[in-house]
Amino acid sequence: MLRFLTTFDFTLENILQFVVYSAIFGAMVFFTARSLKSAPVDSEGWQWVRPSFMHHFAVVGSLLFSLLMWWLYFFVGSARADAEYQETGMLLLALAFGLGALVVWWLFYANRICWRDDRIRLWTLRRFTEYSFDEIVEIKQANGEGNWRITFEDGRSATVSEMSHGFDDLGDHLEEYMV
């Protein structure tokens, strides 16, 4: 970290780029949080927690960046003296961002939650597992970043993001039944 600070060119242009990019990403988070909708209800009366723009952006952005790194690694390479070092970095970035996209997809797209009355369902790719609210053992913050983990008596758990559509509705419903 110290090496980065001593080699970084602190010109006005670089500082302005940092400020502009930070403002853009901050605004994106702010407007995503403000645009969250209530839980949609399906034809059977189940309310669903759905991924929001933040999840879509995380999956698509990570996947595109990973594909870019793979393309650079396989088809472009580097002609510089430290090419091996750069290509190792590209490979690590491609793997890390690809894995990140897979984790976000698994947590918020492949595993979904819906509820109705005193029942809650976990949907994992091809099957539903239905529980009563009485079977919830624990609700706790998963990693300090706005994700919550709901754990059931049989040991299964589900992760819910505060940035999901319907998160507030689920929280209100859980408060009603957990008291």
| Count: domains in the chain | 1
∠ at Cα 172 (170, 176), nearest 5°?
115
Task: Decide if 29 is inside a domain.
Answer: no
Is the pTM here over 0.85, yes or no? no
Q: Please, what sign has the CA dihedral across residues 168, 169, 172, 177?
A: negative
Mean pLDDT by 10 residues, the chain (179 residues): 57 85 85 80 90 90 95 86 87 95 91 90 87 90 81 90 89 79
Backbone angles phi, psi at 119, to 5 degrees: -115, 145
CATH code of 101's domain? 2.30.29
Task: Decide if 39 is inside a domain.
Answer: no
